Chains A and B, each alone.
Chain A
Amino acid sequence: MNSKRTSKTSRRAAAGFKLALAMTSMIDMVFLLLVFFVCTIRFERGEEVFRLDLPVRAETADPLALRDAPVQVIIGMRDGERCEIEVRAEGVRQSAENFEALAVVMQQYRRTPGSNDGLFETSHPILIVPAPGSTWQDTVDGFNAAVRAGYANIGFAESKS
């Protein structure tokens, strides 16, 4: 069987058998695709998300039930690198120089489960209150500080303007 195959191959070679592939059009297409992707490519940083739970209006909720007064995080106007931030709650009024300090302050007020230190549970409502003229960046920074401090129930106040 092997000898048969060898003789067939040699016969084809003797007859000048050629295998040709037209590469020109394929290369044209490859270059077209390359130009298309080079022109349309856009490098973007990966987007990530913060979760914000909106209050659900449940019909069965007791309208007379007492709700925790939220801890307010007042975000003031930015003056260059400086942004005045204040944490306000019942019996609490503390300012922070920046958002790093805000995260530390809020962490100090957080009650660790099973211990008596701290004032607020992680489920305690936190309200971000940006001053008129505050940017969305500062607002999200305030939100981020509260998330970093371990709170899970964070919302935004209505704008006053």
Chain B
Amino acid sequence: MSLLHARGPARINANMTPLIDLAFLLIVFFVLVARMSSEQLPPVALPQPLHAATTAAGSRPRLTVNVIADGDRTTLSLGARRFADDDAGRAELAAAIAQKIRRDPTLPVDLRADRSLRYDRVEPALRAIAQAASQIGVGRVTIRVCALEDRTSQHE
């Protein structure tokens, strides 16, 4: 009788520990990524123009300024940072945008604003972006809107 058979029938067990480790790592990764992306793009009711002549946002990195309606107040945000909608807050926002654009002058800036907001509450954010762009000498800003499917022409 061979030595193999003397030990009894052979058993193969899959070691699940590394699989579970990996699964937990994936969960942690997705939790963190989901949190980061929601900070960059908070839920905002964007304008929906009829027959929008827009272009797809694309996947290249962008700097996104959000103008969020919060009751009577308006909050400005750039990534995870929040800014008060007053002169000091807008100056801080312009400085933060300028700092980021200085690192990458080709970085486009998106403006996401709630469609129900009055224009005079969105315009200061536009002015802050313009101020940052003129500080650095970059002249390109994109307005990001949520558009309906129907398109007429391409602008970009």
Contact = CB atoms under 8 A, between A and B. Distances in A.
B114 A48 contact: no
Top 4 closest A-B pairs, CB basis?
A: A56-B139, A48-B54, A159-B120, A144-B49
A80 interface: no
Given A22-B13, A136-B119, 10 more contacts: A15-B5, A32-B23, A36-B27, A50-B142, A54-B139, A130-B119, A132-B120, A136-B47, A136-B117, A159-B123
Contacts of B52: 48, 144
Point out which of B12, B26, B31, B54 has the most chain A C-beta atoms below 10 A from its C-beta: B54
B117 A51 contact: no
Interface string A117-161: 000000000000010111111111101100110101000101111
B11 A18 contact: yes
A11 B155 CA distance: 74
Contact of A52 (B14, B23, B113, B143): B143
Given A48-B55, A139-B119, A148-B153, A57 B145 contact: no
Contact of B53 (A26, A56, A148): A148
A156 B112 CA distance: 15
Given A57-B134, A147-B53, A148-B51, A49 B143 contact: yes
B144 A134 contact: no
Interface of B: 5, 9-14, 16, 19-20, 23, 26-27, 30-31, 34, 46-57, 110, 112-120, 122-123, 126-127, 129-130, 133-134, 137-147, 152-153, 155-156
25 contacts: A25-B16, A25-B19, A33-B23, A33-B26, A36-B27, A40-B31, A48-B144, A49-B56, A49-B145, A51-B55, A52-B141, A52-B142, A54-B140, A54-B141, A56-B137, A103-B51, A135-B119, A136-B118, A139-B122, A141-B47, A144-B53, A147-B153, A148-B53, A156-B119, A156-B123
